[in-house]
Amino acid sequence: MRKLLDEVRMLLRDAGVEEPRLEIPRQAGFGEVSCTSAFDIAKTVRKPPQSIAEEIASGIDLSKARLVERVEAVRPGYINFWVRWVNFAPDLLNTVIGEGERFCWSAVGRGKTVLVEHTSVNPNKALHIGHARNTCLGDSIARIYRSQGYRVVVANYIDDSGSQMADILLAFTRLGYSPEPPAGERFDEYCGRIYVEVNRLIESDQALSQEKRRITLEIEGRDTETFRLNRMVAERVLADQLKTCWRLGARYDILNRESDILAFNLWDEVFEKLKKSGAIYVAVDGPKKGCWLINLSQHPTLAREGDEVLVKSDGATTYVARDIAYAAWKLGLLTRDFRYRVWGTNPDGTTVLITDYAGDREYRIGGVDHTVNVVDARQRRPQEIVRYAIGFLGVDRSRYHHHSYEVVSLSARDAEKLGVRQVQQGFVHMSGRGGVFINVEQLLTHLKEKAVSETLKRHPDWSRGKVEETAEAIAVAALRYNLIRSDSDKMIVFDTEEAMDMEGDTGPYIQYAYARASRILEKADTGPRYECPASLADEEKALILKIAHTPLVVEDAARMLLVKKVVNHAHDLASAFNDFYEKCPVLTAEADVKGFRLAIVEAFRTALSSTANLIGIPLLEEM
């Protein structure tokens, strides 16, 4: 496709257009590439765009063209180019199939490191679908960066020092809860349940509330029994959470604990630098007397909301302060570093490390070029403060990127099922503390059950193992697709019934197209041929073009960090393939047509699998 665009540009330049503006027509019938430069030129030269377009078009010398067959000036002033399929199609199919899994890879990120932080769920509960949106988005971003040649470090921030941990500890130490969950309940789900129950108790019990505050303080002291118990609980919950994340297809390099940001004393160094920069000051009077605050008066939007406390009057750091220190560490501004120990192994065989004061491993990220924080939109303000603050440490703020996304809420129907009354609008916000959420594991199990029964309908002869394996992939595809297909800035109103859909604009639709293509290739008794038949069906052309656009879409998506673009393109590819499948029989076609169509099918599989890989949609040879 790039070759085609280059050729069109070359033709236009030779015809006198300095900087041709090209676009790919949305609708068929306007050629394969279109130029809108006549509109630009019409602004300076006082002539109608149409006549300019006609002049340019007639000045184009097609004798030098290899991939372009025809040029035409059309209605308001477009210059449309039609492809010479005999040359274009074989070139393209050859390239795609030749590149194989490297199709859509790029080297733009070579030599650069980017740290992607995602998931970051408090280690006191199981993942709900809002967390899953974060994980699927973040994992896709990591995959996309990797495809562009970046070295990618995936981090998961473990906030193990908050008061939300105290609820669980309170249950174990004072309320008689067993540290072991009942048979059949996972530890993370068990803690999530305790979290809800304890919060209900605390609401009506002052003494318990006091007790909780005491435990919160005890967690901070590193040598206490409470501290050790807290670590144990957090690590056990984390182990379960990661199982869910792995199930979703995510992987991690490092698990960074908030308690270790304190232990390794990352803040002190940043504190000194901030003082020197003059960005922070100590309040000498007023309600915040004795606190260190960051001066936001020069910030374009935050200035009107007042300055932010970084160090409380008792000397303790706030959450934002620790986040600034952490960001400084990521960007290589500190001499101090974490130590790690081995936590476990990702499904892909790579090692996961966790911060540990007594750890024996080092993991030098060496100051990454770029850091991406996948954090929900409610944290825009604190994230912006962090970004603003690191600017005072001599860092280009663009290196710190908060990848914001809107929350997932529940449909009125789902909320009512969970016992929420008086649903006013069409949705209800989830709440871990309130027990209003949909658990990822349970949802996946539910999806898998449906996929099992659908698979059994189609393949009654399959072994149980094969059915299970297939159904698991379908369940994951359905969920991931659902959570990343739309814009990050839009709230998802989740509805279980809708999410169970496996037809239409869904993950399984993409898997199905892939499976169909795989079956054709499996049954073929001859190989692909690249010679283009004399005439091509519209469906063949449309599919070839979609395949051709793939690297351009991925490049765009990577540059703008828009995961949904890749998702939508995967759907477009699958849809174009299904049209082709319907109208263009492969195996029963004449020998030359058959060979060519086999090449199309093979190229389609390459294109679809590379896009699906970028968004973590597992594919199946059969389903």
Query: Can you state the angle between helices 129-147 and 563-583, rounded to 10 degrees?
Result: 80
d(C-alpha 185, C-alpha 167), whole Å: 19
d(C-alpha 56, C-alpha 62), whole Å: 12
Q: What's the min distance (Å) between Cβ of 188 and RNA?
A: 17
Among 54, 406, 416, 555, binds RNA (CB under 7 A): 406
Q: What's the min distance (Å) between Cβ of 608 and RNA?
A: 14
Which residue, 239 or 620, has its beta carbon nearer to RNA?
620
* φ/ψ (deg, to 5) at 152: -115, 125
Q: Does 42 bind RNA (CB under 7 A)?
A: yes
Pick the stretch among 7-15, 180-188, 363-371, 507-515 that binds RNA (CB under 7 A): 507-515
518: left (phi over 0), alpha (psi -120 to 50) or beta: alpha
Which residue, 67 or 586, has its beta carbon nearer to RNA?
586
Among 30, 88, 145, 392, binds RNA (CB under 7 A): 30
Which residue, 1 or 368, has its beta carbon nearer to RNA?
1
How many CB atoms are located within 10 Å of the residue 264 CB?
Answer: 18
CA 465 to chain centre: 30
Which residue, 145 or 512, has its beta carbon nearer to RNA?
512
How many CB atoms are located within 10 Å of the residue 85 CB?
Answer: 20
Q: Does 509 bind RNA (CB under 7 A)?
A: yes
Q: Does 579 bind RNA (CB under 7 A)?
A: yes
Q: What's the min distance (Å) between Cβ of 610 and RNA?
A: 19
Q: Does 420 bind RNA (CB under 7 A)?
A: no
Q: What's the min distance (Å) between Cβ of 270 and RNA?
A: 16
Q: Does 289 bind RNA (CB under 7 A)?
A: yes
8 Å CB contact between 334 and 315: no
Q: Does 562 bind RNA (CB under 7 A)?
A: yes
* φ/ψ (deg, to 5) at 326: -65, -45
Q: Does 505 bind RNA (CB under 7 A)?
A: yes
How many CB atoms are located within 10 Å of the residue 562 CB?
Answer: 17
Q: Does 434 bind RNA (CB under 7 A)?
A: no
* φ/ψ (deg, to 5) at 345: -125, 130
Considering only residues 165 to 224 of the shown chain, the ones binding RNA according to CB under 7 A are none
Q: Does 496 bind RNA (CB under 7 A)?
A: no
Which residue, 180 or 503, has its beta carbon nearer to RNA?
503
Among 263, 377, 500, 537, binds RNA (CB under 7 A): 377
Six-digit token string for 66: 């290899």
DSSP 150-161: -EEEEEEEE--S
Q: Does 74 bind RNA (CB under 7 A)?
A: yes
Pick the stretch among 90-98, 105-113, 485-493, 530-538 that binds RNA (CB under 7 A): 485-493
Pick the stretch among 84-92, 109-117, 195-203, 421-429 that binds RNA (CB under 7 A): 421-429
d(C-alpha 567, C-alpha 481), whole Å: 7
Range 130-143 burial, b when 16+ CB lie within 10 A, else e: bbbbbbbbbbbbbb
Q: Does 458 bind RNA (CB under 7 A)?
A: yes
Question: 560: exposed, middle or buried (C-beta count within 10 Å: 0-12, 13-18, 19+)?
Answer: exposed
Q: Does 2 bind RNA (CB under 7 A)?
A: no
278: left (phi over 0), alpha (psi -120 to 50) or beta: left
99 three-class SS:
helix
Among 85, 271, 400, 581, binds RNA (CB under 7 A): 581
Q: Does 582 bind RNA (CB under 7 A)?
A: yes
Q: Does 565 bind RNA (CB under 7 A)?
A: yes
Which residue, 114 or 619, has its beta carbon nearer to RNA?
619
